[in-house]
């Protein structure tokens, strides 16, 4: 087990190096000279010169790459080009609002869609099953933008049930007052794909031989679904959720943007609009590390829930 974790960590090194090269290629090579990029965005020539010196733009690419790697290893990505805020503090202050929305959203999505998936898989092939699946398909076809625009307009603006947007300083106020509508929208958008996916996981299990054995033992359909099938279907569901967590951080960017929630996703959009390269670079690298770590955690979790898996 320990050996497995060590080997996996060791295997992350080349992947990380690849991410570094990819990001470097994008921003230093494709992105080009910051003086050009920032023309019109920052008028202070001295600041631009300063940025160019920090990046070593005049020096060969390998020196620039080395500067970038040093930044990653020390965790010091410098400051934002547009607001001059330290990158470390940007990430630390943007993370809590994102999590305030995402953690409840993920938990609710999991509970609701797993429950629904078991229910529709139980009546598979029936009219209900088909109707739910059609609703899911149609629901999935409408852009998330439309959900946000319409929900914000109807529930916040017209009916006044929720604030239209904003963010406060108290955790509970943020969670209850400002996050409710974003979470509701997030759920509306995420349940359809989750339900479809989890339903196939459950159906895969329902057709297994051990379900026939359970029936031959005289177990009730309820027990078969909730104990035997769910326990097996939870294996792909858990690993799926684990592996998708880091991506969610970015995935909620539209919701954060519309509701002015100062989270990571909105920060990325802002940075892209301002060509604020250091912020994007730093977030990309951190999220990549998080993804790799969560993938490893997903595999370890897999081991924990599936006795067949041997991690060597």
Residues 6+ apart with CB under 8 A from 9: 296
Q: Work out the number of other CB atoms within 10 angstroms of the CB of residue 152.
A: 20
Among residues 67, 116, 144, 238, which is the contact residue for another protein, using CB under 8 A?
144
111 contributes a contact to another protein by CB under 8 A: no
Q: Which is nearer to another protein, 78 or 251 (CB)?
A: 251
Applying CB under 8 A, among 189, 191, 225, 268 the residue interacting with another protein is 268
Interface with another protein, residue 250, by CB under 8 A: yes
Distance CA 114, CA 64 (A): 48
Crossing angle of helices 61-74 and 45-55, in 10° steps, is: 90
CB of 121 to another protein, least distance (A): 10
Q: Does residue 307 bind another protein (CB under 8 A)?
A: yes
For another protein, the closer CB: 191 or 292: 292
CB 291 within 8 A of CB 247: yes
In angstroms, give the least distance from the CB of 74 to another protein.
21
Minimum distance, C-beta of residue 104 to another protein, in the bound complex (Å): 18
Asked if 112 is part of the footprint of another protein (rule: CB under 8 A), the reply reads: no
Range 55-63 contact pairs with CB under 8 angstroms and sequence separation of 24 or more: 55/28, 57/33, 61/28, 61/29
Could you write out the DSSP letters of every residue in 49-70? HHHHHHHTTTS-HHHHHHHHHH
Tell me if 55 contacts another protein by CB under 8 A: no
Instruction: Tell me the site size for another protein, rule CB under 8 A.
Output: 106
Rounded to 5, what percent of the chain is helix, strand, coil?
Answer: 80, 0, 20
Q: Are 300 and 235 in contact (CB under 8 A)?
A: no
Nearer to another protein among residue 96 and residue 115 (C-beta):
96
Please say which residue, 17 or 111, places its beta carbon nearer to another protein.
17
Residues of this chain, 78-97, that bind another protein according to CB under 8 A: 82-83, 93, 97
Of 27, 77, 122, 151, the residue at the interface with another protein (CB under 8 A) is 27
Tokens of 55: 């990046």
**Toward another protein, which CB reaches closer, 63 or 138?**
138
Residue number, 73 or 217, with CB nearest to another protein: 217
- Give dist(CA 303, CA 89) in Å, integer: 36
Residues 155-184 that bind another protein (CB under 8 A): 156-157, 160, 163-169, 174, 177-178
Q: Which of 205, 199, 198 shows the shortest CA–CA distance to 306?
A: 205
Determine contact, residues 178/261, Cβ cutoff 8 Å: yes
Among 283, 296, 298, 302, binds another protein (CB under 8 A): 283
- Binding piece for another protein, criterion CB under 8 A, among 51-59, 64-72, 180-188, 229-237: 229-237
| Contact region with another protein (CB under 8 A), list: 63-71, 104-112, 202-210, 296-304 | 202-210
Which of 65, 262, 301, 303 binds another protein (CB under 8 A)? It is 262
Q: Is 48 in the site for another protein (CB under 8 A)?
A: no
Residue with tokens 């699946």: 133
Grouping H, G, I as helix, E, B as strand and the rest as coil, residue 79 is: strand
């Amino acid at each position: 087990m320990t050996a497995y974790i060590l080997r996996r960590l060791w295997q992350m090194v080349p992947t990380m190096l690849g991410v570094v090269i990819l990001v470097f290629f994008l921003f230093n090579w494709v992105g080009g000279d910051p003086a050009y990029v920032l023309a019109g965005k920052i008028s202070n020539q001295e600041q631009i010169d300063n940025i160019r010196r920090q990046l070593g733009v005049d020096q060969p690419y390998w020196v620039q790459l080395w500067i970038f790697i040093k930044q990653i290893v020390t965790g010091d990505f410098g400051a934002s080009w547009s607001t001059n805020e330290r990158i470390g503090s940007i990430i630390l202050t943007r993370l809590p609002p994102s999590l305030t929305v995402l953690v409840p959203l993920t938990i609710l999505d999991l509970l609701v869609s797993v429950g629904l998936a078991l229910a529709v898989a139980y009546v598979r092939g029936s009219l209900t099953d088909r109707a739910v699946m059609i609703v899911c398909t149609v629901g999935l076809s409408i852009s998330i933008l439309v959900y946000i625009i319409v929900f914000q307009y109807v529930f916040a603006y017209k009916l006044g049930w929720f604030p239209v947007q904003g963010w406060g300083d108290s955790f509970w106020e943020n969670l209850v007052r400002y996050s409710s509508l974003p979470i509701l929208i997030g759920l509306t958008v995420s349940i359809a794909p989750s339900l479809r996916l989890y339903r196939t996981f459950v159906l895969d299990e329902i057709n297994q031989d051990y379900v026939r054995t359970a029936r031959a033992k005289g177990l009730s359909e309820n027990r078969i679904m909730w104990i035997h099938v769910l326990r097996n279907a939870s294996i792909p569901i858990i690993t799926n959720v684990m592996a998708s967590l880091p991506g969610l951080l970015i995935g909620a960017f539209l919701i954060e943007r519309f509701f002015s929630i100062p989270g990571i996703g909105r920060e990325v959009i802002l940075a892209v609009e301002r060509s604020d390269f250091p912020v994007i670079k730093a977030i990309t690298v951190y999220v990549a590390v998080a993804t790799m770590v969560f993938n490893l955690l997903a595999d370890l979790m897999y081991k924990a829930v599936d006795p067949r898996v041997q991690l060597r």
